[in-house]
Amino acid sequence: MGLGFLFYRPVVNRVEFFVDGFNLYHALIDNHYNRYKWLDLLKLAKCFIKPQDQVIGINYFTSYVVWDPQKVSRHQVYTSALQSVGVKIVFGSFKAKDRKCRNCNAVYKTFEEKQTDVNIAIKLFQSAINNVFDTAIIVSGDSDLVPAIEAVKTTFPAKSVGVVIPIGRRAESLKNATDFHMKMKEKHLSTCQFPDAITLPGGRQLCRPVQWK
């Protein structure tokens, strides 16, 4: 038995996740899976890696819909639940925008989410530069992320970038841009829910919003 064998250590594949919160949220809503919003992203991440892989971090990119206090309250409970299992929250924002009705020409205000694509691109590149991951997995169906993926793959050819496509989405451009792709299914959603009540250190409880049952 040689010394090289004695000191051999298996190479660990470090995996970092980048979750496009609103893209995932709208996939659930569009496919009538409202009951799965209470989603434990750490459990979900582990569905898409090999047993010997290590989840090095999960980044959840989102924004609060500040014009609806009840939705903000539910969203804050959810982000607290995610933080309780080590998920990092990266916030963007919504900005008001004037639109004109095609029928009557009346001007009305609507809101558009800003910064999520940029935030994902920046975090992805920062993590690659700092050698945080060996494999990056993006959870999104948004083709706007293709340039960021291609930039990372070109600059860091030794690193792997994959995508988990939210349920009900196709995302052909993302499939073509990444090294591998996987499909989110209902079985992943149903088995990766938080318990209805989470007790935090100090005794505070987080409860699944009744609207999400």
pLDDT tens profile 148-190:
999 999 999 999 999 999 999 999 999 999 999 999 999 999 9
Residue 148, phi-psi category: left (phi > 0), alpha (psi -120 to 50), beta (remainder): alpha
User: Looking at per-residue confidence, does 112 or 91 come out higher?
Assistant: 91
User: Looking at per-residue confidence, does 179 or 65 come out higher?
Assistant: 179
User: Looking at per-residue confidence, does 170 or 3 come out higher?
Assistant: 170
48-59 average pLDDT score: 97
Which range among 65-69, 116-120, 198-202 shows the weakest confidence by mean pLDDT?
A: 65-69
Q: What is the mean pLDDT of the chain?
A: 90
Q: In this model, does residue 201 exceed pLDDT 70?
A: yes
Q: In this model, does residue 119 exceed pLDDT 80?
A: yes
**pLDDT for res 101:** 57
What does the pLDDT look like over 68-87, one tens digit per residue?
Answer: 899 999 999 999 999 999 99
DSSP string for residues in the chain: --HHHHT--PPP-EEEEEEEHHHHHHHHHHTT-GGG-SB-HHHHHHTTS-TT-EEEEEEEEE---TT-HHHHHHHHHHHHHHHHTTPEEEE-EEEEEEEE-TTT--EEEEEEEESHHHHHHHHHHHHHHTT--SEEEEE---GGGHHHHHHHHHH-TTSEEEEEEPTT---HHHHHHSSEEEE--HHHHHHSBPPSEEEPTTS-EEE--GGG-
**pLDDT for res 30:** 95
Residue 28 in tokens = 């659930």
Q: In this model, does residue 6 exceed pLDDT 60?
A: no
Q: Output Rg (C-alpha) for the chain, integer angstroms.
A: 19
Q: In this model, does residue 1 exceed pLDDT 70?
A: no
The pTM of this model reads 0.88
Residue 98 in tokens = 């004037």
CATH superfamily entry for domain 17-212: 5'-nuclease (3.40.50.1010)
Residue 19 in tokens = 């979750």
Residue type, 25: Y
- Whether the Cβ atoms of residue 38 and residue 28 lie closer than 8 Å to each other: no
132-150 average pLDDT score: 97
Q: In this model, does residue 94 exceed pLDDT 60?
A: no
Q: Which residue has the tokens 């995610």?
A: 82
Q: What are phi and psi of 205, to 5 degrees?
A: -110, 140
Residue 12's contacts (CB-CB under 8 Å, 6 or more residues apart) are 52, 53, 54
Residue type, 195: P
Residue 74's contacts (CB-CB under 8 Å, 6 or more residues apart) are 209, 211, 212
